[in-house]
């Protein structure tokens, strides 16, 4: 029985481990190797060099785009939390029609990413719904060009796309809060605001951290929304990586930039994991 159990576990474990090793770990090894190579006369030269990393560190363009990407991702994270937490709180502590409202919140996840992005492009365009409504109400006399192809459009689109990813862990953490703690807080004379600040919010912080991490990491690595609604002023670091692997044919520099992003994301995940564990133990 034990031999059969070990054989069964090995058979079940082998396919996912092989998949991750082949298509993830091996891909990272190839990416790591490419980052130390260079391009000469349109050909990739396999000689060791740190020139790609020096170029990234010394180029103001790459650093500017990276800081812009982090600023956009930070704004998306903030707005996703501001939208996701109140909705999660309402659904968790108001059981009436909870299932229906929960389905309405996550229904955007059933729609294609491109459909949602193109929808915002239609809404924010010069002849879109928003500009047409503003002119009809005589708030503006001409279309506002700043609505589309701007960092504002990227933040708005990404907030709509990634708010459900911030909402779900917050809702899960609120659902796991023992209701007797809240009742005890009320019995001891605490006001609803005091109960929220001293009981609910501290216990839901692991979910808030997880939701913020989801929103930030996914926004930082997004490259389709900046292409569709961002324009030149909304280009993010992932668009630079795509162009380096594509039209520029500078795979070593693209690999070096990808590894820098990977290190940044892994460091962020490590820090948020420690924060989440710290608040979970309190």
Check if the beta carbon of residue 210 is closer than 8 Å to that of residue 63: no
The per-residue pLDDT for 128 is 84
pLDDT tops 60 at residue 162: yes
pTM for the full predicted model = 0.90
Question: Considering the chain, what is the average pLDDT of its residues?
Answer: 90
Kindly state whether residue 241 falls inside one of the protein's structural domains: yes
User: Which residue reads 């409504």 in tokens?
Assistant: 133
Q: Where are the alpha helices (DSSP H) in the chain?
A: 2-20, 26-34, 51-58, 60-93, 98-106, 113-124, 129-136, 151-175, 179-187, 192-195, 201-220, 224-225, 237-245, 251-281
Q: Domain residues for 253?
A: 58-281
The per-residue pLDDT for 97 is 79
Tens of pLDDT, residues 196-236:
999 999 999 999 999 999 999 999 999 999 999 998 888 99
**Higher local confidence (pLDDT), 204 or 104:** 204
Kindly state whether residue 221 falls inside one of the protein's structural domains: yes
Kindly state whether residue 83 falls inside one of the protein's structural domains: yes
- What mean pLDDT comes out for the span 64-72? 94
pLDDT tops 60 at residue 282: no
Kindly state whether residue 36 falls inside one of the protein's structural domains: no
The per-residue pLDDT for 3 is 65
Structure tokens at 100: 């229906």
How many domains would you assign to the chain? 1
- Domain of 271: which CATH number? 1.10.3720.10
DSSP assignment of 19-47: HHIIIIIHHHHHHHHHTT-EEETTEEE--
- What mean pLDDT comes out for the span 138-153? 86
**Higher local confidence (pLDDT), 147 or 77:** 77
Kindly state whether residue 200 falls inside one of the protein's structural domains: yes
Structure tokens at 13: 């474990």
The per-residue pLDDT for 5 is 76
The per-residue pLDDT for 277 is 80
- What mean pLDDT comes out for the span 271-282? 78
pLDDT tops 90 at residue 275: no
Which region among 110-114, 217-221, 251-255, 257-261 has the lowest average model confidence (pLDDT)? Answer: 110-114
The per-residue pLDDT for 142 is 85
The per-residue pLDDT for 99 is 84
pLDDT tops 70 at residue 1: no
Kindly state whether residue 38 falls inside one of the protein's structural domains: no
Kindly state whether residue 9 falls inside one of the protein's structural domains: no
Kindly state whether residue 2 falls inside one of the protein's structural domains: no
């Amino acid at each position: 029985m034990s031999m059969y159990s070990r054989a069964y576990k090995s058979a079940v474990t082998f396919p996912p481990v092989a998949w991750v090793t082949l298509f993830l770990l091996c891909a990272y090894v190839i990416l790591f190797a490419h980052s130390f190579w260079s391009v000469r006369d349109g050909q990739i030269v396999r000689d060791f060099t740190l020139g790609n990393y020096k170029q990234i560190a010394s180029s103001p363009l790459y650093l500017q785009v990276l800081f812009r990407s982090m600023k956009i991702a930070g704004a998306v994270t903030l707005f996703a939390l501001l939208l996701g937490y109140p909705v999660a709180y309402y659904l968790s502590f108001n059981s009436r029609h909870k299932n229906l409202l929960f389905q309405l919140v996550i229904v955007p996840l059933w729609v294609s990413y491109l459909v949602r992005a193109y929808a915002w492009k239609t809404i924010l365009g010069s002849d879109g719904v928003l500009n047409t409504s503003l002119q009809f109400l005589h708030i503006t006399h001409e279309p506002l060009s700043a609505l589309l192809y701007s960092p504002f459009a990227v933040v708005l689109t990404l907030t709509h796309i990634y708010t459900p990813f911030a909402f779900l862990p917050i809702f899960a953490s609120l659902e796991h809060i023992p209701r007797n703690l809240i009742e005890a807080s009320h019995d001891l004379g605490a006001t609803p605001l005091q109960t929220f600040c001293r009981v609910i919010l501290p216990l839901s912080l692991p979910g808030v951290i997880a939701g913020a991490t989801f929103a930030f990491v996914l926004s930082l690595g997004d490259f389709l929304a900046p292409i569709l609604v961002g324009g030149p002023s909304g280009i993010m670091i992932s668009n630079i990586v795509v162009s380096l692997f594509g039209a520029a044919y500078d795979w070593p520099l693209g690999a070096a930039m990808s590894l820098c992003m990977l290190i940044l994301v892994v460091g962020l995940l490590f820090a948020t994991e420690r924060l989440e564990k710290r608040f979970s133990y309190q």
